[in-house]
Every structure is written in C-alpha cells, then in structure tokens.
Amino acid sequence: MAKLPIEIAETIWNLKRQLLDIIHDATAAEYTLFEQFGETDRTMDYLEQLKSVAQQADERFAQFSILQRRLANAQPTATSDMLRLVTEVITYTQARLPAWERSIEEIKIEWRLS
C-alpha cells in the first residue's frame, strides 16, 4: 500500500466526516422543508438546492473513497499524478465546504427550519 503522509491521510478522513455532515444536514433540511410546506412553486427551488448540495457532497465523498482504495493498491508508492489528484480534490473540497454549509443554513433560516 502506498502510504500517504499522515497529514494528508487525516485531512481526507476529516473531510469525509464533514461531507457526511453536509449530506445529513442537506437531506434533513430537505425532508423538513417538504414535510412542513410540501412541494410547491415556492419550495421547489429550495428543495432542488438542498438535493444538489447533498449530491455534490456525496460525489466528493465517493471520490475520496475511490482515491483511498486506489492508493491502498498502489505499489510500491503512489504516482505523482495520483498525489496531485489527491491534493486537487482536497483543495476543491476545502473551498466548497463553507459554501455548502452556508447554502443549507440560509435555507433553514429563510424557512425557519430547526
């Protein structure tokens, strides 16, 4: 197995935990919005936004899992291309997390969801 520097490995695990939180928060807000207000012209855009946030976070989570599996199978070390890809995915995810969190929070505030 190709070993990643511990900082990168821990960063991946932390990001995956945060992505799971985003998925949970977005789907919970989507469910609550739908249960309280239904699927109407007014709620459709918000329901779609929440679904989109959850899907994007899920895609990042899956991408990290695939990268981790590929790295586990890389022998004797990971290629520079693989390491570059890992770094790019980390950077992209770190940049997107606050926006996803904020999108969920804004919808929850606007619709007074708990």
Q: What is the pLDDT along the chain (114 residues), one digit of tens a residue?
A: 567 888 999 999 999 999 999 999 999 999 999 999 999 999 999 999 999 999 999 999 999 999 999 988 887 788 889 999 999 999 999 999 999 999 999 999 999 998
Is 30 contained in some domain? yes
The reported pTM is 0.93
Domain count of the fold of the chain: 1
Is 1 contained in some domain? no
Domain containing residue 61:
6-110
Coil/strand/helix, residue 27: helix
Is 34 contained in some domain? yes
Q: Let me know how long the chain is.
A: 114
pLDDT in tens, 29-58: 999 999 999 999 999 999 999 999 999 999
- Type of residue numbered 50: L
- Type of residue numbered 56: Q
- Type of residue numbered 82: M
Residues contacting residue 87 through CB under 8 Å, at least 6 positions apart: 8
Give pLDDT, residue 2: 67
Is 52 contained in some domain? yes
